[in-house]
């Protein structure tokens, strides 16, 4: 009984307004009655319930005051700096690499080539990408050698002393040409490395039944994530022989698995610590130079830091896939969509990275959020001798949305329908079947169309 009475008194102190003197009291575990919880105030961060509150981010203050530690702000005793030499060709055999002149330069502590990497391949779907190209380069961004030196400038200067002998081989840059039989091949027998099909009903019959059939090709460009913080990591070996890596990676679990694979060592001996990342947008989902830093650090016996230049970021990190998309849609006069076919060719660049998954997501979403009974989607990812494409915010969706929504407007105009009405008429509702046959739940396409158009003033709008 006394216990309960005591706690009731205490809660008043917590919930109610504290005097200045009470507020200044230090928390104490031994005197739990006056523990460290602050009084509930109008500050959203101190309010319950927490969900739905416009709380201030935990990292707002350090961000605003410039105190957030990014990799580039971090330094360790005796730390070296790493720079990467990249390919001079889009497609070539590497005949020889000579690092001896670079190694003789004062301030250069270690160099690394692809042959020194225990398992020189990685990738989330297929392990088709070398950490450092050893026998062949497949695009201009491929690394061919790396240097660790006392300063960034010395490392950069040393790259100029590395001699690489290449034998250029024919390259292919256009994904449609790359699909042809006689085109130069990047890996194996064919450049088509992933295909997806989604089939429902009979699209060809739907076109026969339609009052109007419209066809159009759409295409998109390659873009970069351009995070404010480029890819950056620091690798060091601890006295007990374990590897520690500070990294801007967005996926440390996968990063550690890739490190264990490429370095051929147990996961338990690798520790990856991610910092607050200065922008990811999908571009930091896989390792880049982390194994290089680890091996240079082992050779040098010192921590090694690597921060990509903006040019490294553009040339060698992943980018957004260019898509070529052929749309064909059959509709009735009153605006019901009967059937749609979509053919997607995705320019995958020199390595798979996340193309296989981007292709799958793009294919599923390509029909749009509309009830269409007859669907045929066919999508292919293709190697070209260009910067590799990979995960980027939207994973194929911005490309296909540009196409299906442009196509929807074209159809609405042909039928003399208001684009909003045409969408409302065909949009998914609760329990609509998706193109893959999934029964959709918590669907609010129409609600979002209504909300956006009302706020915009769609009906009243005049040019």
List binders of another protein among 404-423 (CB under 8 A): 404-406, 409-410, 419-420, 423
Q: In whole angstroms, how close is the CB of 73 to another protein at the nearest point?
A: 15
Q: In angstroms, what is the minimal distance from the CB of 339 to another protein?
A: 15
Whether omega before 49 lies within 30 degrees of 0, making that bond cis, reads yes
According to the binding rule CB under 8 A, does residue 459 interact with another protein?
no
What percent of the chain is helix, strand and coil (3-state, nearest 5)?
30, 25, 45
Contacts of 197 by beta carbon, 8 Å cutoff, 6+ apart: 363, 376, 377, 378, 379
Q: Is 343 in the site for another protein (CB under 8 A)?
A: no
CB of 423 to another protein, least distance (A): 6
Q: What angle do CA 388, 390, 391 make, to 5 degrees?
A: 160
Joined together, the tokens standing for residue 304 give 């090694």
Residues 173-192 that bind another protein (CB under 8 A): 173
Backbone dihedral region for residue 260 (phi beyond 0: left; psi -120 to 50: alpha; all else: beta):
alpha
Interface with another protein by CB under 8 A: which range of 102-110, 111-119, 232-240, 306-314? 306-314
Mask 104-143, x = binds another protein (CB under 8 A)?
-----------------------------------xxx--
Token reading at 268? 């338990």
27 binds another protein (CB under 8 A): yes
3-class SS of residue 247: strand
- Give, in order, the Cα–Cα distances in Å from 162 to each of 120, 200, 307: 20, 56, 20
Rule CB under 8 A: say whether 211 interacts with another protein: no
Count of residues of this chain found to bind another protein when the rule CB under 8 A is applied: 139
Q: How many CB atoms lie within 10 A of CB 50?
A: 10
Q: Shortest CA distance to 263 belongs to which of 241, 280, 246, 284?
A: 241
Q: Taking CB under 8 A as the criterion, which residues in 437-456 touch another protein? A: 437-438, 440-445, 447-449, 451-453, 455-456
What's the closest the beta carbon of residue 298 comes to another protein, in angstroms?
Answer: 19
CB of 77 to another protein, least distance (A): 21
Q: Which is nearer to another protein, 111 or 140 (CB)?
A: 140
For position 59 contacting another protein by CB under 8 A, the verdict is: yes
Binding of residue 2 to another protein (CB under 8 A): no
């Amino acid at each position: 009984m006394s216990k309960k009475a005591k706690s009731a008194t205490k809660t008043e102190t917590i919930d109610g307004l504290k005097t200045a003197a009470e507020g200044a009291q230090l928390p104490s575990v031994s005197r739990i009655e006056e523990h460290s919880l602050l009084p509930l105030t109008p500050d959203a961060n101190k309010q319950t319930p927490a969900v739905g509150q416009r709380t201030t981010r935990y990292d707002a203050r350090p961000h605003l005051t410039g105190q957030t530690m990014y990799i580039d702000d971090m330094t360790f005793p005796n730390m070296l700096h790493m720079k990467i030499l990249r390919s001079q060709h889009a497609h070539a055999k590497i005949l020889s690499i000579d690092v001896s002149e670079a190694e003789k330069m004062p301030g250069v502590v270690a160099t690394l080539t692809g042959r020194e990497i225990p398992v020189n391949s990685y990738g989330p779907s297929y392990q088709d990408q070398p950490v450092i190209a050893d026998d062949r380069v497949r695009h201009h961004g491929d690394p061919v050698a790396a240097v660790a030196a006392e300063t960034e400038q010395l490392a950069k200067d040393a790259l100029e002393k590395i001699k690489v002998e290449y034998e250029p081989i024919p390259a292919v840059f256009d994904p449609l040409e790359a699909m042809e039989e006689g085109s130069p091949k990047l890996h194996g027998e064919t450049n088509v490395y992933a295909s997806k099909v989604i089939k429902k009903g009979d699209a060809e019959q739907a076109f026969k039944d339609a009052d109007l059939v419209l066809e159009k090709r759409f295409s998109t460009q390659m873009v970069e994530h351009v995070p404010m913080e480029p890819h950056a990591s620091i690798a060091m070996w601890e006295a007990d022989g374990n590897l520690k890596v500070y990294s801007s990676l967005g996926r440390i679990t996968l990063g550690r698995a890739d490190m264990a694979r490429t370095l051929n060592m147990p996961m338990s001996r690798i520790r990856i610590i991610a910092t607050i990342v200065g922008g990811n947008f999908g571009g930091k989902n896989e390792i880049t130079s982390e194994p290089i830093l680890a091996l240079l650090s082992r050779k040098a016996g010192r921590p090694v830091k690597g921060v990509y230049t903006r040019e490294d970021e553009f040339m060698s990190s992943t980018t957004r896939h260019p898509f070529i998309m052929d749309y064909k849609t059959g509709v009735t006069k009153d605006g019901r969509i009967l059937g749609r076919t979509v053919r997607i060719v995705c320019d995958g660049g020199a390595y798979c990275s996340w193309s296989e998954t981007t292709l799958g997501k793009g294919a599923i979403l390509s029909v749009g959020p509309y009830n269409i009974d007859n669907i045929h989607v066919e999508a292919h990812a293709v190697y070209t001798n260009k910067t590799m494409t990979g995960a980027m915010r939207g994973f194929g969706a911005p490309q296909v949305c540009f196409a299906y929504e442009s196509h929807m407007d074209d159809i609405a105009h042909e039928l003399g329908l208001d684009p909003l009405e045409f969408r409302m008429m065909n949009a998914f509702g609760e329990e609509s079947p998706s193109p893959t046959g999934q029964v959709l739940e918590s669907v609010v396409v129409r609600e979002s169309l209504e909300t956006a158009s009302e706020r915009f003033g769609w009906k009243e709008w005049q040019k």
